[in-house]
Structure 1
Amino acid sequence: MAEEKSRDCCVRHKKREPDQYRDMINRLSRIEGQVRGIKRMVENDAYCPDILVQSAAVTAAMKSFNKVLLEDHIRTCVVEDIKADKEGTVDELVRVILKLMK
Structure 2
Amino acid sequence: MNIWIEGLVSFFLLAGSLFAFVGALGLYRLPDFFMRLHGPTKSTTLGVGGMVIASLIYFGARGEGISFHELLITLFLFITAPVSAHMLAKAAMQQKLRINENTSGKPWDQ
Q: TM-score interval w.r.t. the shorter chain?
A: 0.3 to 0.5
What's the TM-score, normalizing by structure 1? 0.44
Greater relative CO, 1 or 2 (CA 8 Å, sep 6+): 2
What's the TM-score, normalizing by structure 2? 0.42
In terms of fraction of residues, the more helix-rich structure is 1
